[in-house]
Amino acid sequence: MKGMTTVQDSSKISPFLVLYLIVSTQVGVGVLGFQKYIVEGMGYDAWMAIILAGLIVHLYIYMIYSIMRKADMDIIELNHVLFGKWIGNLINLVFILYLLILSLTVLRTYIEVVQVWMFRNLNTWIIAFFILLLVLFVIKGGFRSVVGICFLSVLLPSFLILTLYFPLQFAHFGNLLPIGDFTMKELVISTRNMVLSYLGFELLFFFYPFIKNGEKSQKWAHLGNFVTVSIYLVIGIVSFAYFAEPYIKEAEWATLTLWKVVELPFLARFEYIGVTTWLFIILPILCLWLWAASRGVKHMIPKLKQKRILYIMVAVILVSSGLFQTREEISFLNTLSSRVGFYFLGFYIPLLYIIMLVKKEVRKS
């Protein structure tokens, strides 16, 4: 199946950079408080759900690569070919809206963290304006500029993993015992909630055409997911060993609370450094999602310029960010985006994979 999608070699990236793209999309604001949601089911056996959810994402990455190798076109065009103009456009529209909702969710959640932990009276629109201004600046530099930010977002904040040494001094790994005291239903709940934290890998559909020798990048995509799973697993186990289970079930930002334990002679409140550094982590997520969403609309409506589409999307997200003020409203936004992602991608990716598999078998026969 050959498409009309063409990308100049000068705009393409090396396969190994896919590792940084995957890690930067999966490690976002979810890392700051994922513990509360995965212990809802299995309790402190939820570290198993972190691994199981990671294996499920590996399977989905395999399916995406299988689909894109056979299609040789981007996802917008592929939906047109497989489902026709009207249904294909409807699916594309859902995909684009999903990316916009995710962008709004990440932006507003990060702003909430800043307001709760640093500047309580800071105006939502002001901080949203400056963050989105940075996003515009990066995206206008092209896809390679976005990839550069993703590369830095993985390297620069990596020192934060060292801060886990401080809570480890007070850890009680007996909290994780007994192992295996959960039901199948509880396993499903914890695994489902954990998969939501790994969302972002689906952007492979959009940037696959921008990879030189795309097939060779698959091992890097899997390695990126492995790195992400390892980060969540280490943070999860340290959190479970440090906090009592009743506390972590109520804690909105367990990872941020871990930073309160960090004691340095020249710094009294390390969480300020952590929250500030986290801007480097959410920036590439916003850049990638808004780049993909604006490129998707550009493919659907070729007469529109991608920059103009991007300006409109940024304006909509800027205005929308101020409409969610209370913890309940922001929590609803998080639940909405995660559930839409879980059910949409949960059915959509396997459906595409099966259709492409059937087409291949029909051609053989």
348 lies in a domain?
A: no
Looking at residue 161, which CATH number applies to its domain? 1.20.1740.10
68 lies in a domain?
A: yes
Residuewise pLDDT in 10s, the chain (365 residues) = 544 456 777 778 899 999 999 999 898 777 888 888 888 878 888 889 899 999 999 999 999 999 988 887 788 888 888 888 889 889 999 999 999 998 998 899 899 888 888 878 888 899 999 999 999 999 988 888 999 999 988 888 888 888 888 888 888 888 787 787 778 888 888 888 888 888 889 899 998 989 988 888 999 999 999 999 999 999 999 988 888 878 888 877 888 888 888 777 666 677 778 888 888 889 999 999 999 999 999 888 888 888 899 999 999 999 998 888 888 888 888 888 878 887 888 889 999 999 888 887 777 76
SS3 of 112-173: the string is: HHHHHHCCCCCCHHHHHHHHHHHHHHHHCCCHHHHHHHHHHHHHHHHHHHHHHHHHHCCCCH
50 lies in a domain?
A: yes
Question: Which structure tokens are listed for 187?
Answer: 């396993």
Q: How far is CA 263 from the centre of its chain?
A: 30
Q: For residue 293, give Cα distances in angstroms to 53, 288, 313, 320.
A: 26, 9, 9, 17
> What is the pLDDT, as a whole number, of residue 193?
83
Whether the Cβ atoms of residue 17 and residue 147 lie closer than 8 Å to each other: yes
The Cα–Cα gap between 54 and 60 comes to 10
The Cα–Cα gap between 151 and 360 comes to 36
The Cα–Cα gap between 92 and 317 comes to 19
- The secondary structure of residue 267, as a DSSP letter, is B
Question: Which structure tokens are listed for 2?
Answer: 């050959």
> What is the pLDDT, as a whole number, of residue 314?
94
> What is the pLDDT, as a whole number, of residue 228?
94
357 lies in a domain?
A: no
> What is the pLDDT, as a whole number, of residue 325?
80
149 lies in a domain?
A: yes
358 lies in a domain?
A: no
Q: Which domain holds residue 125?
A: 17-340
347 lies in a domain?
A: no
75 lies in a domain?
A: yes
Q: How many domains does the chain have?
A: 1
b/e map of 200-224 (b: 16 or more CB within 10 Å)? bbbbbbbbbbbbeebeebbebbbeb
Does the pTM of the predicted model rise above 0.85?
yes
Which of these, 100, 107, 86, 75, lies nearest to 208 by C-alpha position? 75
Whether the Cβ atoms of residue 100 and residue 293 lie closer than 8 Å to each other: yes
One-letter amino acid for residue 26 of the chain? Q
Question: Which structure tokens are listed for 117?
Answer: 């932990």
